[in-house]
Structure 1
Amino acid sequence: DAEVAGVGRPLRVRAVAGAVVGAAGAAALAGCAVSERTASAASLLGLGVVLTLIATVIAGPLLVRPVIRVLGGAFPALFGSVGRMSQRNALRNPRRTGATAAALMVGLALVGGMSVASESMTASFDRQIDRTLGADFVIQNTNFLPFPKEVTDEVRGTEGVGLVVRGRFTPVAVRLPDGDRVETTAAGYDPRLDEVANITYTAGDSAAALADGRLAMDRDFARDHGVRAGSTVPVEFQGGRSAELTVGALTDQDSAEGFGTQGGLYFGLGTLERYAPGGQDSALYVNAAPGTGDDELRARLEAALDPYPQVQVRDLADYKQLVHDQIAVLLYLVYALLGLAIIIAVLGVVNTLALSVVERTREIGLLRAIGLARRQLRRMIRLESVVIAVFGAVLGLALGLVWGVCTQQVLALQGMTALAIPWVTIVAVVIGSAVIGVVAALLPALRASRMNVLAAIAHE
């Protein structure tokens, strides 16, 4: 009945600007996916995220018509003429619809990207733990700090314990053939490491790695710094001690960090005691003796360690849960941002619908005059709100999935090679967006349904 100001203006400038910025963002994300260096990949990822977000906001109005025609395609069949009008109302002003959905789109893009990244990290850690950890139990401090020797003695003296392999960590600095000096943390282990850990070697074995005066190193780290099996590298320990250690083994733990931390450096406890004496154990890898069940041994270990409440007994499932909980902290921060985005999105949809109702006052009056019931009018506005909210959710999640996959490619350079898509979360977010649309439409729909029909028809 009445034209809305600015509806007919062309979107050519937006199309050109969105295409240029979007192409630059896509190129940055593609470069991130194929990069082989973590630093450059992360930089390209950040640039790609910013550019594609800007491009989507700019080009959002261009996507309104094709996407909403699909999202609202079933409305006419389900709700008749009311559904058809709600779909067309959402299409009436693409600029406004795109701007209204932008707040929800940005929030859900962040949530989608972080969800994919966190799910991939969780799957990668689970795979790594399953593949690497072979001990029945791991005993560590809650904060991973070293514990007193009495703890080790208590564990060894517990009935049903068959094998205890000690693990210690020490800061070291390694001078490499390419001239780099890398400060990292190395680990020291008892000789029977193979019985509690599954380590893949590309050169040498555990016996060579843990022999006196030898060490093991991650294969990729060694390749990047020009180290080979049999090379001698200077290692600086705390307290000013230094040693020339021979690389006895190279590992391939599907991680740039190897079995330990950066460089995957580890050696025998005999070597560690010689150059960094007096250290405390940081982890105990425990296997049950033949004839002792895991549940039985766990109960005994927990009873023996009762005087040391900071020391935890963990099995494989506990270790996975520990990692899951740490990753979940990041997600909680993202969900807090999502909560703010939802509040902003709801206010935006409410504002847009309220303005739309005012602009269409005479039109609403005419519809009521020819028989549109109050209930049908409220439904029309609710459906319009729902399709706008779901439009923002679809754009945001599509963008977030791309960001998440690219983030996983960066994580893969650090050994987190599993890609996992949280489909349950994605479906829940889409459904939640529809609910947000319904909630946002309550007040505008109620206001529209209470209009005086004759006054609305006479409205200029």
Structure 2
Amino acid sequence: GAVVGAAGAAALAGCAAATRTAQAASLLGLGVVLTLVATVVAGPLLVRPVIRVLGAAFPALFGPVGRMSQRNALRNPRRTGATAAALMVGLALVGGMSVASASMSASFDRQIDRTLGADFVVQSGNFTPFTGEIGKRVAATPGAGLVVAQRLTPVAVRLPDGERARTTAAGYGPGLDDVAHLTYARGGSAAALADGHLAMDADYARDHGVRAGTVLPVEFPGGRRAELTVAALTDQQAAESFGTQGGVFFGLGTLRRYLPNGQDSALYVNAAPGTNPADLRERLERTLKPFPQVQVRDQADYKQLVHSQIAVLLNLVYALLGLAIVIAVLGVVNTLALSVVERTREIGLLRAIGLGRRQLRRMIRLESVVIAVFGAVLGLALGLVWGVCMQRVLALRGLTALAIPWGTIVAVVVGSAVVGVVAALLPALRASRMNVLAAIAHE
């Protein structure tokens, strides 16, 4: 277990230090498998030190009953480790995905705060393009000031190093600086949106030998080809995020030349001077009532949209957790039932010298709780390490914020204790109903 664990730790360390996404993801997968195997193999060795710590307060809180419950959990470390393994695996997965999802949400929140400067964004619910009629009605809405249209298109860019990069590029109308906070390493929005020009992320450009003034062959849908000059280099720290590799964008004039029948993907709207944004939102919603496919969103709405999409993935993980909990409960019930059978005579003697039925049930419940919490602690510790490494992989794609969902972690530990109590109900009831004399005579 130590050898496999050391190899897994080395793989996770390599993942955290990697500079390429594919390499980091491969090392992450290898590290997850190896550390999981190592923890399962070495679990029985971890039972004694961890349970001594987890059950340290039992003697003070519950007296001799608490002391016996702690020591009963230590009697068979291999069985205790195997029992806790099912819960550990499920909670390790939940812990890792919770850290990853919280980090994604925090990164998107930071990115939205840093880049979105418009009061409102008009966009379809599923991000599909919409007709130009919507843009005309938005611009004619009373109180609407600057309206900047965005159009997205797939393109293929031939780079100087020979790579043919397929990505999604954006076209923007005039006034981009008033609705978005862009940081430029070279040039500016005026140069980037000029006819025949484009902008690209500075880091991506450097990696592929692109400089300001480089002319790049660009292929648009339908086989239309153009040669566009790199007029600006941006520093947005999100060059490779989710299909927008390279951070390529240009002016709507350039895009319309090669895609004359394109549709808008979003409209960025600022309130006119003297107009209350809340009033403008009501007017925009009235204007767009005949077009239910589009919605008006502000920064808070955008963040909530991102969070809800990430929550879909997290809910799948929670479903797996539910299955793991069912398996873990059955495992704990089985372990405690076997333990009660093996200790039949001991239980009879304890009852004979004065241990009450309620005290016996409490002893078995506490034993179950400490086993369940043991599995939760191991699983969450493993999951936190996995989650941090997942975040390092996401950081290579521009999602640089690390967030630890402490509330979720505390809730999972408390929930594990509840699982332990539930799992002990039947074994504890069976033990408390034993005939004392028959139990003492049991061989």
Please indicate the TM-score interval, normalised by the length of the shorter structure. Answer: over 0.9
Per the alignment, residue 221 of structure 1 pairs with: 204
CA contact (8 A) 1:253 1:259 kept: no
Per the alignment, residue 286 of structure 1 pairs with: 269
Give the Å deviation of 1:269. Answer: 0.6
2:388 counterpart of 1:409? no
2:436 counterpart of 1:453? yes
Which residue among 145, 170, 177 is the counterpart of 2:153? Answer: 170
Secondary structure of the 2:126 match is: coil
Per the alignment, residue 295 of structure 1 pairs with: 278
Amino acid of the structure 1 residue aligned with 2:165: V
Amino acid of the structure 2 residue aligned with 1:407: M
CA contact (8 A) 1:218 1:257 kept: no
CA contact (8 A) 1:218 1:250 kept: yes
CA contact (8 A) 2:91 2:380 kept: yes
C-alpha distance in structure 2 between counterparts of 1:108 and 1:241, whole Å: 51
Per the alignment, residue 126 of structure 1 pairs with: 109
Per the alignment, residue 235 of structure 2 pairs with: 252
Amino acid of the structure 1 residue aligned with 2:324: A
CA contact (8 A) 1:256 1:413 kept: no
2:192 counterpart of 1:209? yes
CA contact (8 A) 2:16 2:389 kept: yes
C-alpha distance in structure 1 between counterparts of 2:18 and 2:199, whole Å: 27
Secondary structure of the 2:263 match is: coil
C-alpha distance in structure 1 between counterparts of 2:398 and 2:242, whole Å: 11
2:183 counterpart of 1:200? yes
2:369 counterpart of 1:386? yes
CA contact (8 A) 2:123 2:296 kept: yes
CA contact (8 A) 2:169 2:244 kept: yes
Q: What per-residue deviation string (whole Å, max 9, x for no partner) do you get for residues 205-233 of structure 1? A: 11111111110001122122111111111
CA contact (8 A) 2:167 2:243 kept: no
1:314-329 aligned within 5 A: 314-329=297-312
Amino acid of the structure 2 residue aligned with 1:309: P
CA contact (8 A) 1:155 1:161 kept: yes
Amino acid of the structure 1 residue aligned with 2:67: R
C-alpha distance in structure 2 between counterparts of 1:277 and 1:408, whole Å: 41
Give the Å deviation of 1:239. Answer: 2.0
C-alpha distance in structure 1 between counterparts of 2:18 and 2:426, whole Å: 50
- RMSD, matched Cα: 0.9
Give the Å deviation of 1:298. Answer: 0.4
Which residue among 101, 113, 125 is the counterpart of 2:84? Answer: 101
CA contact (8 A) 1:252 1:258 kept: no
Q: What per-residue deviation string (whole Å, max 9, x for no partner) do you get for residues 169-211 of structure 1? A: 1111100001011111111001210000001111111111111
Q: What per-residue deviation string (whole Å, max 9, x for no partner) do you get for residues 121-168 of structure 1? A: 000000000000000000011111111111011101100001100100
**Structure 1 pair 62/260, CA: closer, same or farther in 2 (3 Å)?**
closer
Which residue among 50, 75, 92 is the counterpart of 1:67? Answer: 50
C-alpha distance in structure 1 between counterparts of 2:48 and 2:202, whole Å: 53
TM-score (norm 2): 0.99
C-alpha distance in structure 2 between counterparts of 1:281 and 1:417, whole Å: 30
CA contact (8 A) 1:188 1:272 kept: yes
Per the alignment, residue 344 of structure 1 pairs with: 327
C-alpha distance in structure 2 between counterparts of 1:390 and 1:259, whole Å: 38
Give the Å deviation of 1:256. Answer: 2.6
Unaligned runs of 5+ in 1: 1-17
Amino acid of the structure 1 residue aligned with 2:310: I
**Which stretch of the first structure deviates more once superposed, 143-152 or 445-454?**
143-152
Per the alignment, residue 288 of structure 2 pairs with: 305
**Which stretch of the first structure deviates more once superposed, 95-104 or 220-229?**
220-229
C-alpha distance in structure 2 between counterparts of 1:260 and 1:219, whole Å: 17
C-alpha distance in structure 2 between counterparts of 1:453 and 1:311, whole Å: 73
C-alpha distance in structure 2 between counterparts of 1:256 and 1:37, whole Å: 13
Per the alignment, residue 97 of structure 2 pairs with: 114
CA contact (8 A) 2:201 2:236 kept: yes
C-alpha distance in structure 1 between counterparts of 2:214 and 2:412, whole Å: 54
Moved over 6 A (4+): none
**Which stretch of the first structure deviates more once superposed, 246-255 or 349-358?**
246-255
Secondary structure of the 2:130 match is: coil
2:320 counterpart of 1:332? no
1:401-440 aligned within 5 A: 401-440=384-423
Per the alignment, residue 81 of structure 1 pairs with: 64
C-alpha distance in structure 1 between counterparts of 2:185 and 2:285, whole Å: 38
C-alpha distance in structure 2 between counterparts of 1:158 and 1:271, whole Å: 27
Give the Å deviation of 1:257. Answer: 2.7
Unaligned runs of 5+ in 2: none
TM-score (norm 1): 0.95
C-alpha distance in structure 2 between counterparts of 1:139 and 1:382, whole Å: 56
Amino acid of the structure 2 residue aligned with 1:443: L
CA contact (8 A) 2:15 2:393 kept: yes
Secondary structure of the 1:191 match is: coil
Which residue among 17, 26, 29 is the counterpart of 1:43? Answer: 26
Amino acid of the structure 1 residue aligned with 2:123: Q
Secondary structure of the 2:63 match is: helix
**Structure 1 pair 385/258, CA: closer, same or farther in 2 (3 Å)?**
closer
Secondary structure of the 1:249 match is: strand
CA contact (8 A) 2:241 2:397 kept: no
C-alpha distance in structure 2 between counterparts of 1:414 and 1:183, whole Å: 16
Q: What per-residue deviation string (whole Å, max 9, x for no partner) do you get for residues 300-359 of structure 1? A: 000000000001100000000110000000100000000000000000000000000000
Which residue among 126, 130, 139 is the counterpart of 2:122? Answer: 139
Amino acid of the structure 1 residue aligned with 2:255: L
Count of residue correspondences: 443
CA contact (8 A) 2:238 2:397 kept: yes
| Amino-acid identity (%) | 83
